[in-house]
């Protein structure tokens, strides 16, 4: 569980009601650490009913794993690539495929 989960008020956000049908796995590079980017990702993912996490990696990138509907995963990927994010995204390496593992909420690590 990430720090964000303790501050989260899930009222008004869509929760994943059934097993995930898809998983977005992304590595985001650019100025994405220390600028609220992971919090922004969680804010985009939760209303889409996605669960998973956003995690800082040692190389300065952020790993995003999000599970839920195909449409939700595609929407989050579009948001990551939109240019309207916290910080500054230079590149998103991503794929949407079958879910691996199971998450209960969206955490920040």
Q: What is the mean pLDDT of residues 68-92?
A: 95
Q: Which of 31, 38, 81, 102 is catalytic?
A: 38
Domain extents for the chain? 20-103
| pLDDT tens for each residue of 27-42 | 999 999 999 999 999 9
CA distance 104 to 68: 11
Is 38 among the catalytic positions? yes
Q: Which CATH class is domain 20-103?
A: alpha beta
Annotated catalytic, 81? no
pLDDT band at 18 (very low <50, low <70, confident <90, very high): low
Instruction: Inform me whether the pLDDT recorded for 56 exceeds 90.
Output: yes
């Amino acid at each position: 569980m990430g720090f964000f989960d303790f501050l989260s008020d899930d009222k008004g956000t869509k929760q994943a009601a059934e097993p995930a049908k898809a998983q977005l796995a992304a590595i985001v590079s650019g100025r994405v650490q220390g600028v609220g980017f992971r919090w922004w990702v969680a804010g985009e993912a939760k209303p889409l009913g996605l669960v998973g996490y956003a995690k800082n990696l040692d190389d300065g990138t952020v790993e995003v794993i999000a599970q839920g509907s195909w449409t939700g995963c595609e929407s989050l990927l579009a948001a990551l690539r939109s240019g309207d994010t916290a910080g500054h995204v230079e590149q998103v390496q991503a794929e949407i495929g079958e879910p691996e593992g199971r998450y209960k909420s969206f955490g920040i690590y």
